[in-house]
Structure 1
Amino acid sequence: MAEAAEGQYVTFGLGDEVFAAPVGLVREILTYHPPSRIPNGPDYLLGLTDVRGRGVPTADLRIRLGMAAVEPTLNTRILVLDIPLEDRTLSLGLVADRVFEVTVFSADQIEPSPDIGVKWRSDYISGVVRRPGDFVVLIDLGRLLSSTDAVSLASFSDVERAA
């Protein structure tokens, strides 16, 4: 399982949970606008978001993680990420309830992913940082998106490029 590295992370919230992604993967953070729907996509794929003239597949991270969907608010954001996969980089928008900050986590702050006995639940966690009153889950986006997810999302992006 991949381990989290010390460095800068963008922290964001889904409900009461706080997650973080490496800042190097975050291309930009957009105010939420409903993506253009695409038929026959996975349930968590909301559609395409126009990012500087390119259609970027946009996913509801809540649904992908098995959480209940919620209506967007004024705080809802789309994190546009460039996620390295085995053979390419996938541009993906992830909807978050809110984005908090860019912060630095040192190696001694990052605890290994907890073994909770159910592989799929902790497989996308590369580490956990304990803070007063809560935990920050360092998300491994490459692992969160299975190879079939990545292929599916890339195909939607490829269709937009061809149009």
Structure 2
Amino acid sequence: MSGAFEGQYVSFGLGDEVFAAPVGLVREILTYQAPSRIPNSPDYLMGLTDVRGQGVPTADLRVRLGMAAVEPTLNTRILVLDIPLEDRVLSLGLVADRVFEVTAFTADQIEPSPDIGVKWRSDYISGVVRRDDGFVVLIDLPRLLSSTDAVSLGGFSNIDRAA
């Protein structure tokens, strides 16, 4: 159960799946706006989003998890996260189909990530919480963004947006 801990989480949806990230990583939640494209970027990197004058690399979490990309809707949001990495904090926007709520999970609610029966590689998952209507997958954002991804995205976050 590495990475999963008791506390407050922001839950969000991708398709029929529900994920959650620690609320302490979420700087703000924005209404979706199309990011400015970056040439030669990884397929899941949508571009840069202007967040209060800072160009923040914005990733399509669906694509990063191997799901099909979808067109944004009125419910689509960008979660602006500050993710602690080994040597720095990476500011990153993650596109979610919708954001549900901030909720608390206790340590006894969080189960270890299953090794089978899950569509995604379990090393991206820090735990799961069983609910009456299914599971909430606790996503381990630093592990989801491999060191290669973090280096790539870190380079983009230093780009100033040309007006």
Q: Name the TM-score class by shorter chain.
A: over 0.9
Q: 1-side partners of 2:17 and 2:117: how far apart?
A: 20
Amino acid of the residue matched to residue 80 of structure 2? Answer: V
In structure 2, the partner of 1:149 is 149
Deviation at 1:48, TM superposition (A): 0.2
SS of the residue corresponding to residue 159 of structure 1 reads coil
In structure 2, the partner of 1:138 is 138
SS of the residue corresponding to residue 159 of structure 2 reads helix
Q: Is contact 2:73-2:97 (8 Å) kept?
A: yes
- Answering whether residue 62 of structure 2 is matched by residue 62 of structure 1, we say yes
Deviation at 1:117, TM superposition (A): 8.9
- Answering whether residue 26 of structure 2 is matched by residue 53 of structure 1, we say no
In structure 2, the partner of 1:97 is 97
Calculate the TM-score normalised by the size of structure 2: 0.95
Q: Is contact 1:44-1:63 (8 Å) kept?
A: yes
Deviation at 1:26, TM superposition (A): 0.1
Deviation at 1:160, TM superposition (A): 2.6
Deviation at 1:71, TM superposition (A): 0.2
SS of the residue corresponding to residue 101 of structure 1 reads strand
Q: 2-side partners of 1:54 and 1:61: how far apart?
A: 21
Long gaps (5+) in structure 2: none
Q: 2-side partners of 1:67 and 1:104: how far apart?
A: 27
Q: 2-side partners of 1:88 and 1:3: how far apart?
A: 18
Deviation at 1:115, TM superposition (A): 1.5
Task: String of CA shifts for 1:99-132, please: whole Å, max 9, x gaps.
Answer: 00000000000001111299x7111100000000
Q: Is contact 1:3-1:112 (8 Å) kept?
A: no
Calculate the TM-score normalised by the size of structure 1: 0.95
- The alignment yields a C-alpha RMSD, in angstroms, of 1.8
Amino acid of the residue matched to residue 126 of structure 2? Answer: S
In structure 2, the partner of 1:122 is 122
Q: Is contact 2:55-2:159 (8 Å) kept?
A: no
* Number of aligned residue pairs: 162
Deviation at 1:3, TM superposition (A): 3.4
Runs of 4+ in 1 over 4 A off after TM superposition: none
Q: 2-side partners of 1:59 and 1:34: how far apart?
A: 11
Amino acid of the residue matched to residue 91 of structure 2? Answer: S
